[in-house]
Amino acid sequence: MSQAAAPKKAQGSSTAYAARSTSRRRWRISLASRQAAFGVAILLPTLAILAIFRFLPMIEAFYLSLTQYDLVHPPKFIGLANFVSLLQDPLFLKSARVSLTYVLFSVVPVLPLSLGLAVLFNRSLWIKNVLRSAIFMPVVMPAVVMAVVWTFMYQQDGVINTILGWLGIDPIAWLRSSASALWAVILIGIWRATPYYMVIFLAGLQAIPADYYDAAEIDGAGKWASFWHITLPLLKPTMLLVIVMNVIVAMKVFAVPLIMTGGGPADATRVLPLFIYQTAFEFFDMGRAAAMSVFLFVGVMLFSFIQVRMFTRGDEQR
Amino acid sequence: MTGPAESAVSSHTTRRAAPRTPPRGWVRQAIRRRGNIAAFCVLLAVACIMLLPFYWMFSSSLRTMENMFSLPIQWIPDPVNWRSYVLAWQAQDFTRYFLNSGFVAVAITLSNLLLCSLAGYSLTKFHFRGQGVMFILILSTMMLPLEVTMVPLFLIIKELDWANSYQGLIVPFLVDGFGVFLMRQYMLSIPKDLIDSARIDGASELRIFWMIVLPLCKPALVALAVFTFREAWDMYIWPLIIITRDSLRTLPLGISLFMSSYGTSWDQLMAIAVLGTLPMILLFFFLQRAFIQGIAATGLKE
């Protein structure tokens, strides 16, 4: 780029100038292509790894879903039979329903909770950083540890029932009852996700220029008015991202239900990833498990798509 | 909260006169202070809820089994029982599980640092055909959960004969779409002139990357390292699928196995839970900013 200005200064016979200019251009082109080659070369390892370990399995999942495969006999092509039988399988339908319930109730409360906490943190408070670190702590706990610790806390004589007792609430059979087990698992999801998304919202809030609020205050807008008309609209991209991420994370939940309940009692907590795992690695029905994966994949895509549409439609109207 | 009262008092003309400074009476300050106190109390209560499992995990690891479910509930362990840590550690080969988890997480982190920053560099400072498509392909892997691809991925690993091996645990995660995205976003801010002038000075491309670009990316690299390490330390479903040999078990596998075989020895279970969380807590305390930045970065938009 910086050599481009040089030829203009070159004086002398026109033929000499032309010769030098072409040689210079050729040199520059070869340099540019050499640089591009370097650029491609350093991208190749990433592309290769993602191709082999992400895209290839994705394609293979679609193929496998059309076969019957038990790891012993070679895969047998059976068309859409897996999908047909899944849609008639009450266990699968129940599992899909459990997953949807989990996603809905672990995503919806997290949104106002994490945004609310972020708004509270977005002012100057005494020992703010200490409080923020404390609230952030659940993100630090590994999922498996979380499952073990909460199982202990959910015991009949455990700490949660004790605290509920102070409030005059009768002990709940958390993990032992099919009515409450899923809610127990959802509660952990909320506990873990809220601080995570709080951090993202906080970053979003801090990106809003303070001038906007000053201007609104001058115009006599109250706290709520500026929250509704400045904060929320400007946070829309962040919110969209939080919802999409949160839905994907919620659809993947696995370790907590597996360790805490193994999917029970009475299949109440058998989320889709857990059912896929059990079908593939306990019953060795790879084709059926792949078909379930395809459903999960379609679910993730559909959810993300609907959310993006919902949020962008608002923009079109404005 | 304060708006209507204030605007009713201050007339339109006075606000015109001093548009830059909104009225700030002592009433407003008092209200604001009260709001701060309320916010503080709410946050304190939330912090207690968030920390309760941590406190309960730690205090229960020190409680004797007789006092585990005593009535009234024992908030401070008495007598203190340190033996649970020793017993739990000896019950299974936790030293090995710890080393395995550490090795796998460090290997994945280092490789992500290198490959993601190379990819980010390639995507921001070079131009070649298909660059945009490649970036979108890399980004799209962020929408592709492992739970969707785990069955065929397992078959591929089995085909490679990598089940029950460190390669099997590490290689599929050597690079990650989010990491590439993070490094790319950060590298957009590095001026191209800097790289061009190094080229004119005759520095080789690799040298420019290593000596100029990487040092400039330090904040992003630290954030990426912490983020990746946390994810790798947390990994459960993948090792569960491909590891059956005890000597290759990672810590989460060890803990869940311990849970299923010693399900009622809560003191020992909580001791292992404390030890499994400790590395993350230490990492968080020393690299708090990076920890939070790594997560805040997942909220970056294009």
Domain boundaries, chain B: 1-52, 87-297
Residues 67-96 on A with a CB inside 8 Å of B are: none
The mean predicted confidence, pLDDT, of chain B is 86
Of B44, B128, B277, the CB nearest to A140: B277
Nearest residue on chain B to A122, alpha-carbon basis: B39
pLDDT of residue B15: 41
Q: Please state, for a pLDDT cut of 90, what percent of chain B lies above it.
A: 55
Q: Which has the minimum average pLDDT: A40-44, A125-129, B240-244?
A: A125-129
pTM of the model: 0.85
Question: Do B1 and A224 count as a contact with CB atoms less than 8 A apart?
Answer: yes
Instruction: Using the predicted structure, report yes or no on whether residue A157 has a pLDDT greater than 90.
Output: no
Chain A residues in contact with B233 by the CB 8 A cut-off are 142
Say what the ipTM of the complex is. Answer: 0.84
Q: Which of residues 232-291 of B touch A (CB under 8 A)?
A: 233-234, 236-237, 240-241, 251-252, 255-256, 259, 266, 269-270, 272-273, 276-277, 280-281, 283-284, 288, 291
CA B202-B207-B213 angle, 5° bins: 110
B151: nearest CB among A202, A225, A293: A293
The rounded distance, in Å, linking the Cα atoms of A255 and B256 is 9
Residue type, A174: W
Query: CA-CA distances (angstroms) from residue B257 to B68, B82, B246, B280?
Result: 22, 22, 10, 21
Residue A58 has pLDDT above 80, yes or no: yes
pLDDT band at B293 (very low <50, low <70, confident <90, very high): confident
Q: What is the mean pLDDT of residues A143-152?
A: 94
Q: Which among B15, B31, B50, B204 is the top mutation candidate for probing chain A, defined by the most A β-carbons within 10 Å of its own β-carbon?
A: B50
CA distance B4 to A28: 67
Total Cβ atoms within 10 A of residue B143: 15
Residues of chain A contacting residue B76, judged by C-beta atoms under 8 Å apart? none
Cα distance between residue B190 and residue B219, in whole Å: 13
Those residues whose C-beta lies under 8 Å from the C-beta of residue B93, and which sit 6 or more positions away, are B246, B247, B249, B254
Spell out where A124-251 has E strands.
none
**Which chain B positions have a beta carbon within 8 Å of A138's beta carbon?**
50, 53
Both tokens assigned to A14? 């026109």
Q: Which of residues 179 through 198 in chain B touch A, CB cutoff 8 A?
A: 180, 196-197
Token digits of residue A143: 């999922």
d(C-alpha B39, C-alpha A211), whole Å: 23
Q: How far is CA B171 from the centre of its chain?
A: 20
Tell me, yes or no, if A4 comes closer than 8 A to chain B by beta carbon. no
Chains A and B form CB pairs within 8 A to the count of 294
In angstroms, the CA A203 to CA B293 distance is: 9
pLDDT at B21 over 80: no
Please give the Cα distance from A121 to A113 (Å, whole number): 12
B10, closest residue in chain A (CA to CA): A220
pLDDT at A317: 47
Q: Per the structure block, which two tokens stand in for B101?
A: 């988890």
How long, in residues, is chain B? 302
Q: How much is the mean pLDDT over chain A?
A: 86
Decide if A296 and B148 are in contact by the 8 Å CB cutoff: yes
List the single residue in B145, B153, B299 with the smallest CB-CB distance to A53.
B153
pLDDT at B14: 40
* Dist. CA B88–CA B90, nearest whole Å: 5
Q: Does B28 touch chain A (CB under 8 A)?
A: no
- The predicted pLDDT at position B299 comes to 67
Ranking A238-242, B86-90, B182-186, B290-294 by mean pLDDT, the lowest is: B290-294
The pLDDT assigned to B229 comes to 94
Contact B276 A241 (CB under 8 A): no
B154 touches chain A (CB under 8 A): yes
Q: Are residues B239 and A147 in contact, defined by beta-carbon separation less than 8 angstroms?
A: no
Cβ–Cβ < 8 Å for A222, B35: no
pLDDT per position as a tens digit, B67-85: 888 777 888 888 888 889 9
- Cα angle vertex B119, ends B152, B125, to 5°? 150
Q: What is the pLDDT of residue B297?
A: 76
More confident residue, A133 or A5: A133
- In this predicted model, what pLDDT tens digit does every residue of A2-51 receive, in sequence order? 444 444 444 444 555 555 555 555 666 677 788 888 999 999 999 999 99
Check whether A313 has a pLDDT greater than 80.
no
Instruction: Report the chain A residue with the minimal C-alpha distance to residue B69.
Output: A157
Cβ <8 Å between A141 and B277? yes
What is the model's pLDDT at position B11?
38
Instruction: Give chain A's domains with CATH numbers.
Output: 2-64 (no CATH), 87-317 (1.10.3720.10)
- The B residues from 155 to 184 touching A (CB cutoff 8 Å) are 155-156, 171-175, 177, 180
A164/B31: higher pLDDT: A164
Q: List B residues 45-104 in contact with A (Cβ-Cβ < 8 A).
A: 46-47, 49-54, 56-57, 60, 69, 71, 73
Decide if B36 touches A, using CB distance below 8 A.
yes
Structural fold of domain B87-297: MetI-like fold (1.10.3720)
- Residue B151's SS3 state is helix
Q: What residue type is assigned to position B54 of the chain?
A: F
Flag if A297 and B121 touch (Cβ within 8 Å): no
Query: Which of B23-27, B92-96, B227-231 shows the lowest per-residue confidence on average (mean pLDDT)?
Result: B23-27
Instruction: State the average pLDDT over residues B62-70.
Output: 85
Is B152 strand, coil or helix?
helix
* Mean pLDDT, residues B12-39: 62
pLDDT at A21 (0 to 100): 56
